[in-house]
Structure 1
Amino acid sequence: MVAPRRAAMRGASPSLIAGVRTALTVVSLALAGVLAALGVASAHMARRVVTPELRRPDTRILSLDTSAQTITLARTPDTELPGRYGLFTSGTTDYIKLGSVLSQDDVSVKRKLLTHIGTTAQLSPDASFSGWYYDSAEELHLPFSPELIGTGVGPCPAWLFPAGDADVWVIQVHGRGTTRAECLRAVPVFHALGITSLLVSYRNDGEAPRSRAGTYALGATEWRDVDAAVGFARRRGAKRILLMGWSMGGAIALQVSLNSAHRDAIVGLILESPVIDWRIVLEYQAHVQGVPAAVSGLAIGALQSEWATPITRAGSAIPFDRLDVVARAAELRHPILILHSDDDGFVPSDASHDLVVARPDLVDLKVFEVARHTKLWNYDQERWSASIRDWVDRLGFSAAREDEDS
């Protein structure tokens, strides 16, 4: 017996059959085009995630008043923030410090200049707003020495700021798309506590050597360079070591805490605006940028697949499960202080809250508001510094407090 649908087609006119075939071909081509577009978009997103990029212009300079020493910027969620910040520029000056907001309207923000700009200065309109504030180690006016730390990819530059009796050290790990200068803001806090600071670099960050692929592994390989810094600190006399990670540096510090052969010397972690689960971060950023969920899902899937590495240009598959510290919370053994803003705008604080729920015995979360990603010090330096001091003192890691007690 002939199937009814086939029988109907046999009785159809040749023109109808041709029309159906044409429609099916068009639909097939359209579907193939959609899939191809999704593939291209997801590959582009995946490559951007792992490709090192120091900074991109994100701020527009509208005007500069050298007589009043003020600068007017296009208004953004960052440029309108209270506090002290930095601005990467191009022209006759490459970096300037910004002070308080003097006035603002719907489209612009006028701020005080804390770096003197001469009347002949010429600045490009394109700039990058920054929370670094300090741009060089010399600006802290504290004794320091440049160091090289031997790692599997070669010697990684570091800054060493000695303090106290060098028994307690903090190793600071900067975030994605930045350098160790990002960490300079925290050095005076630790120096006052008698804690030696080591600010490190790691593979592919623009200062340390490149890996063979030259791409980020989001903490999955970078932690080995920081672990080498832990060994360096121990050889220099450190007996107790704190890890402080900023943004992606938080993800790296957590991997050191979980995987290091020096775990017995690590006594705690301080995480500033940290990445604790990369999938949450990437999905959030895709949503903010209007990237369809299908594209971000394909990008994450490609990044964690070994077969897709030629497409993503990652050196190897990204182990997102291993980098998800909420899922691995039971493995944690060191006290953790998290400083995170619920208004971060780049790395959502969801996973930080989740980690407190998972390990309330180890994790202490200080929630900020208004402050944006890695700009908590800039927005509220007093509370930020006090949070670190109180936590360090409470756990007995302050060399200065030990000296007082003795």
Structure 2
Amino acid sequence: MRTRTKVAVGGVVGALALVGAAAVATAAVSVIVARKVLTPPSRREEDVAIRSVDLDAGLIVLESTADSRLPGEYSFWFTRESGHARVGEIVATTADSVTRRLLGVDSGDLLAARRGRLTGWFYLTPADLGVAFEGVDIATPLGDAPAWLVPPASGGTGERWAIHVHGRAVRRPETLRAVPIFREAGYTSLVVSYRNDGEAPRTDDFRYALGDREWVDVDAAMRFAASRGATEIVLVGWSMGGATVLQALTRSTFGDRVTGVVLESPVVDWIAALDFQVRLRRLPLFVRSFVVLLFKHPWGRFATGLAEPLDIDRLDFVTRARELDRPILVLHSDDDGFVPSTASRALAVARPDIVTYEAFETARHTKLWNFDRERWEGAIRAWLARLG
């Protein structure tokens, strides 16, 4: 009898030890995920190998990846982002390589590079668009944040403005692809930076707030536009910039001047985005729940580095859909690969009265313009015409 009791007790102790170890492992993984989401990257991964470069023929051969196989025109960064080139159409493919047109090398020694990364933001400054522009500073609570101001093509009255807000881990050039459409439609474009993006001032904790505090810098941009005569403002948000402009729309004192919102590959609900990333990495779903706890509670700051908790529920605009009352254009690819389109679609279903949804396929995250420029620009142009 004693032997059986000892075996039973030993089994319970062993089971409890396994449960405890699993809990510790889950907590550790959750901390890693939370910090990765919140911490601005110091270096971007160069995830595409360069097979060969022929400058005379204007060709570059890249390793075959999901991004390198995408049709269209893209930026190609190399040598730790000190080098930049632009690549165009695909001219040949093999099982493990893709040959593309090399449209130009803006900086760096591409011949010496071995790896790089493809991005959607094709232009580096408004000068690449061949338009007049002005560098301005936006007075934010943290200090001056640089921005570009691009006047409308027609001169206009200066009453209609578009404020362009980039996404996570990138900078303001990402949004330049939309500027020509707004410029042609008579809008002054303000292309902004915001806290912790590498151009605007840093916060003390140097952490992203997923839009929950970045919106304050967009509010400052709205104040700047109003001081220059803006009476109608369209907010344009890319990826995390989508979450940021929705916060600005609903929390800014200048929200009454917003006549519409354009969302490109947006984060409409951070819970859905976190769920997707957890599944993508084949982690247990309760990792997401623990990550959310780390974001929401004061004690989480010891793991995340956040100066103060995030109101993650306030960032869910599927649940908050009834609070929205301005026309919204959403452009999203169903195979985004980073931010799932499910929340964008759910918002369109919840508010068909104000949401126009443009569904793409194959284009991946924030590369819709690159993949199908004519359709992307046409969708925004038509929406602006209806906005009136």
- Quote the offset at 1:33 in angstroms: 1.5
Moved more, 244-253 or 290-299: 290-299
Cα distance in 1 for partners of 2:196, 2:252 equals 21
> Are 1:114 and 2:114 an aligned pair?
no
Q: How does 1:98-137 map to 2 (within 5 A)?
A: 98-116=87-105, 121-137=110-126
> Are 1:161 and 2:153 an aligned pair?
no
Identity %: 43
Cα distance in 2 for partners of 1:316, 1:55 equals 27
Q: How does 1:360-379 map to 2 (within 5 A)?
A: 360-379=352-371
Q: Please name the residue that 2:286 is paired with.
A: 294
Q: Which amino acid aligns with 1:223?
A: W
Moved more, 182-191 or 109-118: 109-118
Q: Please name the residue that 2:27 is paired with.
A: 39
Q: Please name the residue that 1:196 is paired with.
A: 188
Q: How does 1:152-301 map to 2 (within 5 A)?
A: 152-163=141-152, 164-301=156-293
Cα distance in 2 for partners of 1:91, 1:299 equals 30
Which segments of 5 or more consecutive residues in structure 1 lack a partner in the other structure? Answer: 1-11, 397-406
Q: Please name the residue that 1:70 is paired with.
A: 59
- Quote the offset at 1:300 in angstroms: 2.1
Q: Which amino acid aligns with 2:190?
A: L
Preserved contact between residue 158 and residue 201 of structure 1 (Cα < 8 Å): yes
Cα distance in 2 for partners of 1:292, 1:285 equals 11
Moved more, 231-240 or 69-78: 69-78
In the superposition, relative to structure 1, how do residues 91 and 221 fare at CA in structure 2: closer, same or farther (>3 Å)?
Answer: closer
Preserved contact between residue 53 and residue 110 of structure 2 (Cα < 8 Å): no
Cα distance in 1 for partners of 2:54, 2:244 equals 42
- Quote the offset at 1:166 in angstroms: 1.5
Structure 2 residue corresponding to 1:150, chosen from 127, 139, 143:
139
Preserved contact between residue 44 and residue 80 of structure 2 (Cα < 8 Å): no
Preserved contact between residue 93 and residue 121 of structure 1 (Cα < 8 Å): no
* Corresponding residue SS for 2:128: helix
Deviations 1:290-336 (A, max 9, x none): 22212222212222222211112222222121110111111112111
Cα distance in 2 for partners of 1:89, 1:267 equals 40
* Corresponding residue SS for 2:216: helix
Q: Which amino acid aligns with 2:346?
A: D
Q: Please name the residue that 1:25 is paired with.
A: 13
Structure 1 residue corresponding to 2:343, chosen from 336, 351, 365:
351
Which segments of 5 or more consecutive residues in structure 2 lack a partner in the other structure? Answer: none
* Corresponding residue SS for 1:100: strand
Q: TM-score, normalised by structure 1?
A: 0.90
Deviations 1:219-238 (A, max 9, x none): 00000100110000010111
- Quote the offset at 1:25 in angstroms: 3.3
In the superposition, relative to structure 1, how do residues 120 and 393 fare at CA in structure 2: closer, same or farther (>3 Å)?
Answer: closer
Cα distance in 1 for partners of 2:288, 2:96 equals 31
* Corresponding residue SS for 2:99: strand
Q: Please name the residue that 2:39 is paired with.
A: 51
Aligned positions, number: 384
Q: Which amino acid aligns with 2:44?
A: R
* Corresponding residue SS for 1:115: strand
Q: Which amino acid aligns with 1:33?
A: A
The structure having more radius of gyration, on CA atoms, is 1
Cα distance in 2 for partners of 1:258, 1:208 equals 23
Cα distance in 1 for partners of 2:303, 2:258 equals 38
Q: Which amino acid aligns with 1:230?
A: M
Moved more, 240-249 or 287-296: 287-296
Q: TM-score, normalised by structure 2?
A: 0.94
Structure 2 residue corresponding to 1:320, chosen from 286, 291, 312:
312
* Corresponding residue SS for 1:52: coil
- Quote the offset at 1:127 in angstroms: 1.3
Cα distance in 2 for partners of 1:175, 1:116 equals 25
Q: Please name the residue that 2:84 is paired with.
A: 95
In the superposition, relative to structure 1, how do residues 253 and 79 fare at CA in structure 2: closer, same or farther (>3 Å)?
Answer: same
Preserved contact between residue 148 and residue 155 of structure 1 (Cα < 8 Å): yes
In the superposition, relative to structure 1, how do residues 201 and 27 fare at CA in structure 2: closer, same or farther (>3 Å)?
Answer: same
In the superposition, relative to structure 1, how do residues 91 and 33 fare at CA in structure 2: closer, same or farther (>3 Å)?
Answer: closer
Preserved contact between residue 89 and residue 128 of structure 1 (Cα < 8 Å): yes
Preserved contact between residue 91 and residue 124 of structure 1 (Cα < 8 Å): no
- Quote the offset at 1:192 in angstroms: 1.5
Q: Please name the residue that 1:392 is paired with.
A: 384
Preserved contact between residue 66 and residue 117 of structure 1 (Cα < 8 Å): no
